[in-house]
Structure 1
Amino acid sequence: MKFLISFSLNFPENCRLSFLAKKARGKLILFFFLFFSPLLVFSQTITVKDQVEDEPLVGVAIYNIDASKSTITNEKGEADLSQFDLGEEITFEHLGFVKKTIAKARYFRNGFIVYLSPETERLNEVVLSASKTGETKTRIAEKIAVLSTQAIQRTAPQTSADLLVEAPGIRVQKSQGGGGSPVIRGFEANRVLLVIDGVRLNNAIFRSGHLQNAITISPNALERTEVVFGPSSVIYGSDALGGVVHYYTKTPKINSTKPFSGGFISRYSQATEEYTNSLDLEFSFGRWASFTNVSFSRFGDIRMGRSRKHGFEDWGLVNLYSNNTEEFYNPDPVVNPNPNEQKGTGYDQFDVLQKFVMKLDHRTSLGLNIQFSESSNIPRFDRLAEFRDGTLRFARWDYGPQKRFLISPQLQFNPGKKWMKKGTITAAFQSIEESRIERNFNSITRESQIEDVEVYSLNADFYADLREKRNLSYGVEFTHNDVQSNAFAEELILQGNRIIGLQPRQLISTRYPSDGSTYTTAAAYTNYRQDINRTSTFNSGIRYTFTKLKAAWNDQALVDSNLDRVTTSNNAVTATLGYVFRPSSKWQLNAVLSSGFRSPNIDDIGKIREQGGTLTIPNPDLEPEFAYNGEVGITKFLGKKSNIVSLTAYYTWLRNVIGRAPFVVEGDTTTDNPNTIIFNGDEDITLANANLGNAYVVGGTFDINTQVVRNLRFQSNLTYTAGRIFDGNRPLPSILPWFGSARLNYTKNRIDSQLYWRFSGNKNPEDFSEGGEDGLEETPLINADAIEDVDRFAGLPSWNTLGAAVAYNLTSSIRIQLSMDNIFDRHYREFASGISAPGRNFRVMASVNF
């Protein structure tokens, strides 16, 4: 509630009624005070904003002179000041902004808004993922991108994978509607570490191809997301070769001024037929608090763009599709009345987050984090579009319901000792279920593969404040993965076109070791950071990691009769050296030397997978791959310190890089060709993950973030990547040479609008990986009679899209947002994706906070 009261009573000093006038004026003032004082009592909410960007500030500390009264701003930058007296001096403090102290009565004259001025550059915001303890950007040498609460709200992503596109230097690959595999510096899947609330999402069956695990986190439950670029194995261990994506979910606040609050979001997207509803509920009391988020999304078939500026008129069109379901049988493909509609891309997603926080004493708190996610069947579109012998191959190819359950208690304590100023112990249990269901046309045999993974983990992270500006963090980590893999075939029992039952199951080859497998890691690390002087900071870290893998195959459905049991163990020492130099308030220079490694997991060593006439089989002799990285960054602050231009360049040398290669099954006699094998009645070329030798990845990112005029901000980034395997000068997978984006934001009062542009360069067919990870066969066909794929397919055409969005805050609690993506309805595909991107997509979202 906002109001303005203005009145004036002027009496001449020599008037003989001046005394009566003064008395009347006093009564009038008293009347207004008594009339409006109830409103002041019930409307004492203030909003704190960034003076430069006019954006709400979250987590601003507000307190009186002796700090006997205090509160903080919520995710909307709001706080209730009713506990403070009207004439009391109140201080507003937030890291990276000038501290402000004013009398409470003044904020009424400011229209219920207090503006804080940035005192340092945006790089000075606190990030959590670089050291797990919270550190300012000016002391961190690695490149880090932060997607704040405001960025998530403004983007309104459909999934948490889609959110990552907003971070400069990241792109996302998709093979189906329910997809989303982030790629960082040319590294993808199990070479990028996903973390949620301090718990690793990467497990023993994270594959080297494309993943969709990022969609098991609702973006509506996120408070922020941080991306650390480059090898980060000192803090996070194996898998973080390309970088770390750390999702932080919303956390309840103890002793908030509002004991109960909540919010509701509803969104509709036209080109993807998306309907999403999300509900937040938060309870806050003196010693404990609770937060709940429930989200449900339903996605329909994706309509691709109609404007084919790339010149390939038939590329991606869906002329035939399968309408087979769990209950319906059709022996033939169906003609699609609208080839621009990608039949078989819809799915449902349900997510729940429940958090409790309890304050045990003034130094100790206990948290409990419970997460559950489940999808419907997710049709794998690129496999359903696969042709063989002139017609569609698969009547069904679904990922079964993808389920993820996590329960994680966390103890935080602050003993205040020199060698242990604070610490966090995080235990976690995860249960993950994945499955694959497929059936060929003109076949009544349905094959199912089911994977169950249980992951137990324990992390202990500690922080020591040795001396002023000298910090030490250290910790230990333990994880244990138990993988059970089952596979069976069932014949359908039909009644006309209806499936009325199934014949008894017959065992077939499992995807992973059929007698079970385990993957265990143990690690210890230490990280030291010191400000050498006011202009420079030095960082160093070292980590030791041990891994052990056990796998066993039974005698049923073996592909390679030589396999029985496999046990491998590996260990590695990785390190980081970083240096930050700030010669003046206008410049910052960063330099990093780091190493990382990835120990082969169950998917690398023990997978059996058929696709497109090739069969990937186990290779128990696989060794770890290592990365050695050097990078430099330079940042220039333009005028106001929130305006920056930065350039980061890196070179990563890979040793024993893992990739697919031809593999001969010793002793196989199913065919005369040693490079093929009969599998499920088909002759397939055999491949396996192997150590391909040494390779390199080189690249850089250019970023600009500047305020053009007041309320108008421009952001842009350009990323370049190149990589080859030295042996034979062969291409590495997942390398897209050029991509980037530009964004123009205008924010004033209740309006938040933006214009955004994304683009991608082309990639020539000879630069696609030889192992098939890049999906050259998904690019336009130019010569069906050619023998070699590099002559048959055109490679990836370049593309660009334009979008716009506008949000209007009807009140402090109600927000309406309209967006239009791909305004010109361009047809395009992201690199290595087996599905075309949505065409012109109109989105509308409404959010209410209470």
Structure 2
Amino acid sequence: MKGFYIFTFFFVTSVLLQAQNIKVLNSVTKEPLFGVAIYNVDKSKSEITNFLGEASLSKFTDTEIIYLKHLSHVLKQITKQKLAGSNRVYLESNTQGLEEIVISASKFEQSKRDIPQKIISIGSESIQFVNPQTSADLLESSGQVYIQKSQLGGGSPMIRGFSTNRLLISVDGVRMNNAIFRGGNLQNVISIDPLSIQNTEVTLGAGSIIYGSDAIGGVMSFYTQIPRVSNTDSLLFKANTIVRYATASDEKTSHFDFNLGYKKWAFLTNVSYSDFGDLRMGSHGPTEYLRPEFALVTSTGDVIIENNDPRVQKVTGYNQLNVMQKAHYEPSETLSFDLGLFYTTTSDFSRYDRLIRYKKGVLRSAEWNYGPQNWFMSNLQVTKLSSNSNLYDKIKATVAYQNFQESRRDRDFNASIRNLRDEAVDAYSFNLDFEKKLSLNSAFFYGVEYIYNKVMSYGEEEDISTNTIIPTVSRYPNGSSWQSAAVYSSIKYKPNAKFVFQSGLRYNYVISNADFTENNQYLNLPFDTAHNESGALTGTAGIRWSPNSILQWKLNASSAFRAPNIDDIGKVFDSAPGAVVVPNNNLKPEYAYGGELGLKLDFNTKLVLDMSTYYTYLDNALVRRDFTLNGETEIMYDGELSTVQAIQNASKAWIYGFEVGLKMEFTKHLQLTSQYSVIGGTEEEGAVEVPVRHAAPNFGNTHLVYSNNKVKFDLFANYNNELSYYQLAPTEIEKGYIYAKDANGNPYSPSWYTLNFRTQYQISDSTIITASLENITDQRYKTYSSGIAAAGRNFILSLKYSL
């Protein structure tokens, strides 16, 4: 018995000692929380967690109430007695606007209210409720990202007057932009499975300090689901399955994911498959958008078929498969390893805007298809925490490999030659990021980055009458490379809760190499190789000042850049009917200089007004302009005499805008939100100034949302202003076939609106049903610059079952 009492004494003592030392973590990310204030009711006893989220509770009694308070998390109450031997306490992030946590601003967690720039956050609950078909649709739901679509399998974001290769996309902190990201509309964002995303952050404005080249107009950061370890000795198993159907495109989507969590290991598998039919447009709108006929390839030749329902956009259907596999290993509380594998593939899908072009009264193309768009990524991230290192408190090392594959297949109506062009990019990247708390008031972030891209490109002509294939000019110089090396640093100084100052610098050095030997047998360029080197120093400085609980001011100034890539210096393609873009080896980086002023008025969360205005000056802008090749202004390309053009540092641009957001809480369950963006801008074209191509029309949305424990309703409107003929950029006027016609017969982009209703009901703890009726009034419209008309009246039904 004596031994039993001794054993019991030591067991109880060890449990109590363990309970006296706790570790405070974020409930979602499981990251330790630094600076959590721990105190009792009268605040006579207090502690603060260290860099590892650790603190001692020895000064507190077993039964007294202990409060845990952190700026960006919900206040929590505990007692040592209720801990029952556990030494881990989880705090929930406060998702009420200013208190959100964001990662993209420094690659480490920060409170959103501390960031001088404007960042949109879309969490997992919002993603589940929005129920987007693609990640482009997810971005559009924010009301602050404008989406252009050239086809159903598309979605090219526009942010504050910038688009495509002037915006940066990252997945789990890995840069997705590669050496052939182009200035034309870019559809790569659809490779990201929206059903795998845990949260998305969109930085409005420059992000070159952290992300380097291309991050001029904004950064779209997608963070996918994280494998969860088990906090007990039992296996943690969680699984979800989702099925969805949409009427406008006859969409059929199925998805499943499951998590296997052990004490130190966790695995997550995620698979989605979508099949889309031809998209049906609305009944009320411009007749120019209708599809009265389409080309059909038959065994006896090409024929024009009358479309028995002109609202159906033939042929736009396609299918897509997304697979994600993740593994997490946590050998200790201060060290973790994360491996992610991603694979996306599509079927062939038509580029719809090219299929509706006419030439001499007849459809120009019999075929214009993108081949399967394939994307593979593997990334390994190692995270180390330390409370005694002089160099860092957190360090993240990320190494990634990506492979991009895309192709184009086009043939003119009744032509025997089919043009085949295939591209692939191998992209390697390495990032080393550090965070160091210099004091309770300041933090230092710094890191290094290296990127290497290898481009493979092939061109062929297939004679369908003889089934013979011969080589021809490729889209890019085969074997070309693009590499970037950078070092960056930023500092945050927060002397008190009212004021934050952040500033940073980045130096980038970019090298491009291209060999045109293969293509010169077709183009006869005045050079065989191109070697481009450029260095860029960019900086940012911003403040956040909250003089009282109502007002919050934000002021930010920044510079950003985009270095010429292989698409700029080496591309050969038909930019428009009768025009061909050729290589140019004499390019420099373009620079953007901008400022932003923001004001938020928060009347005790009952009424919140969020306003911001910005201005950006783009210098040495890389734009497509007329060019000469060996003194010639026209050359033969794909059998057609075409005007010669090239990417050149031939312009400047001035872009400005104003954004306003409103949130009004009528009751705990009913609230109104609204967002509206005004964008304008001009650029130089020769001796005149013309509208900027990617400045979207003024647009916005308004939502009336009711929610309680099990049900949620959202009645909302999306709306978009007109862009008249005189407000269209010249390159858009060239594409008049995608636009409506005004009273004078000139192309223009009409205004439009949609009324929509969405609801979600939690049938049980394991089952959720989501239903939407979009475009209730069946409007026929196109988002600006889009080749394909948007969906007409669309009923979407989704069912989610969880284990």
TM-score by length of 2: 0.88
Mapped partners of 2:530, 2:27: distance in 1? 55
Task: Indicate whether 1:742 and 2:742 are aligned.
Answer: no
Matching residue of 1:317: 290
> Map of 1:121-160 to 2, 5 A cutoff?
122-160=97-135
Decide whether aligned partners of structure 1 residues 172 and 119 sit closer, same or farther in structure 2, where only a CA change above 3 A counts: closer
Output the CA distance in 2 between the equivalents of 1:761 and 1:67.
Answer: 59
Equivalent residue, structure 1, for 2:424: 452
Say yes or no: does 1:306 pair with 2:283.
yes
Q: Residues of 2 paired with 1:581 and 1:99: CA distance?
A: 24
**Alignment check: 8 A CA contact 2:27 2:91 kept:** no
1:849 aligned partner, one-letter code = S
Counterpart residue identity of residue 378, structure 2: I
Give how far 1:188 is off. Answer: 0.3
Supply the AA of the counterpart residue of 1:521.
Answer: S
- Is 1:679 the counterpart of 2:652 in the alignment? no
Instruction: Tell me the equivalent position of 2:380.
Output: 409
Instruction: Say whether residues 1:588 and 2:552 are aligned partners.
Output: yes
Q: Which residue of 2 aligns with 1:216?
A: 191
Q: Does 1:695 align with 2:653?
A: yes
1:117, distance to aligned residue in structure 2 (A): 11
C-alpha change, 1:320 and 1:67, in structure 2 (3 Å) is: farther
Aligned equivalents of 2:550 and 2:352: distance in 1? 50
Q: Distance in 1 between the 2:145 and 2:675 partners?
A: 10
How much has 1:217 moved relative to structure 2? 0.8
Asked if 1:362 is matched to 2:337, the reply is no
Are residues 533 and 782 of structure 1, via their aligned partners in 2, closer, same or farther at CA, if it must alter by over 3 Å? Answer: closer
1:101 aligns with 2:101: no
1:329–1:132 CA distance, 2 compared to 1 (3 A): farther
Q: What secondary structure, in the 3-state scheme, does the structure 1 residue paired with 2:405 have?
A: strand
Structure 1 counterpart of 2:369: 398
Shift of 1:693: 2.8
The residue number in structure 2 matching 1:764 is 724
Q: Which residue is 1:711 aligned to?
A: 669
Cα distance in 1, alignment partners of residues 608 and 702 from structure 2: 15
Shift of 1:678: 2.0
Write the mapping of 1:117-196 to structure 2, written as runs, cut at 5 A: 122-196=97-171
| Matched letter for residue 263 of structure 1 | N
Task: Give 1:69 deviation, angstroms.
Answer: 9.6
Q: Counterparts of 2:108 and 2:734 in 1: how far apart (Å)?
A: 37
Matched, 1:542 2:505: yes
| Letter in structure 1 aligned against 2:636 | I
Note if 1:798 corresponds to 2:774: no
> Which range moves more in the overlay, 607-616 or 298-307?
607-616
SS in 1 for 2:288: coil
From 197, 203, 208, give the equivalent of 1:233.
208
> Contact 1:209–1:773 (CA<8 Å) still a contact in 2?
no
Please point out which of 597, 604, 608 is paired with 2:561.
597
How far is the alpha carbon of 1:364 from its aligned partner? 0.9
Residues 717 and 491 of structure 1: is their aligned pair in 2 closer, same or farther, counting only changes over 3 Å?
same
**Aligned partner of 2:146: which letter?**
R
Pair 1:843 & 2:803 matched: no
Residues of 2 paired with 1:100 and 1:152: CA distance? Answer: 26
What is the DSSP-based 3-state SS (H/G/I as helix, E as strand, rest coil) of the residue aligned with 2:651? coil
- Equivalent of 1:377, from 326, 338, 348? 348
Aligned residue for 1:656, secondary structure, equals strand
Aligned residue runs from structure 1 range 605-644, under 5 A: 605-610=569-574, 611-640=576-605, 643-644=607-608
> Does 2:262 match 1:285?
yes
What's the TM-score once normalised by structure 1's chain length?
0.84
**Does 2:393 match 1:421?**
yes
Give me the identity figure in percent: 35
Quick one: which amino acid aligns to residue 564 of structure 1? D
**Structure 2 unaligned runs (5+)?**
1-17, 30-62, 83-89
Q: Is the 8 A contact 2:441 2:496 kept in 1?
A: no
Larger of the two Rg values belongs to structure: 1
The answer to whether residue 539 in structure 2 is matched with residue 568 in structure 1 is no
Give me the whole-angstrom Cα distance separating, in 2, the residues matched to 1:71 and 1:685: 61
- How many residues of Structure 1 are paired with residues of Structure 2 in the alignment? 742
- SS of the residue 2:512 aligns to: strand
Work out the CA distance in 2 between the residues paired with 1:613 and 1:254: 59
Using the alignment, how far apart are the partners of 1:218 and 1:383 within structure 2?
Answer: 26
- For residues 120 and 197 of structure 1, the distance between their equivalents in structure 2, rounded to whole angstroms, comes to 20
Runs of 5+ consecutive residues of structure 1 not aligned to the other structure: 1-63, 76-86, 107-114, 494-501, 669-673, 784-790
Distance 2:734 2:326 in 1: 39
- Contact 1:733–1:773 (CA under 8 A) maintained in structure 2: no
- Aligned residue type for 1:570: S
* Distance in 2 of aligned mates of 1:583 and 1:819: 42
Which residue matches 1:659?
623
Q: Residue by residue, what CA displacement relative to the aligned partner does 1:358-398 show, whole Å, maximum 9, x if unpaired? A: 01323111111100000000111010111111111111110
- Measured at CA, do residues 643 and 196 of structure 1 come closer, stay the same or move farther in structure 2, by a change above 3 Å? farther
- AA aligned to 1:753 is F
Q: Residues 419-471 of structure 1, C-alpha deviation per residue, up to 9 Å, x if partnerless? A: 30011000000111010011112122221100010001000000000111200
Query: How many Å apart are 1:690 and its aligned residue?
Result: 1.5
CA distance in 2, matches of 1:118, 1:637: 19
Please say if residues 419 and 466 of structure 1, whose CA atoms lie closer than 8 Å, have aligned partners that are also in contact.
no
SS of residue matched to 1:541: strand
Equivalent pair of 2:296/2:302 in contact (CA under 8 Å): no
Deviation (angstroms), 1:635: 0.4
Q: Contact 1:647–1:703 at 8 Å: present in 2 too?
A: yes
Equivalent residue number for residue 752 of structure 1: 712
SS in 2 for 1:742: strand
Kindly provide the amino acid, as one letter, of the partner of residue 800 in structure 2.
S
Return the alpha-carbon distance in structure 1 between the equivalents of residues 759 and 717 of structure 2: 15
Please tell me the residue identity of whatever aligns with 2:452: H
In structure 2, the partner of 1:61 is: none
Match of 2:321 among 338, 343, 350: 350
- 8 Å contact from structure 2 (residues 246, 796) kept in 1: yes
State the 1:686 CA deviation: 2.0
User: Quick one: distance in 1 between partners of 2:369 and 2:378?
Assistant: 28
- Change in Cα spacing, 1:608 to 1:217, as seen in structure 2 (3 Å) is same
- Counterpart residue number, 1:60: none
Deviation at residue 529 of structure 1 after TM alignment: 0.4
1:104 CA drift (Å): 12
* Contact in 1 for aligned 2:532/2:587 (Cα 8 Å): no
Q: For residue 337 of structure 1, give the secondary structure of its aligned residue in structure 2.
A: coil
Q: Secondary structure in 2 aligned to 1:96? A: coil
Q: What is the DSSP-based 3-state SS (H/G/I as helix, E as strand, rest coil) of the residue aligned with 1:341?
A: coil
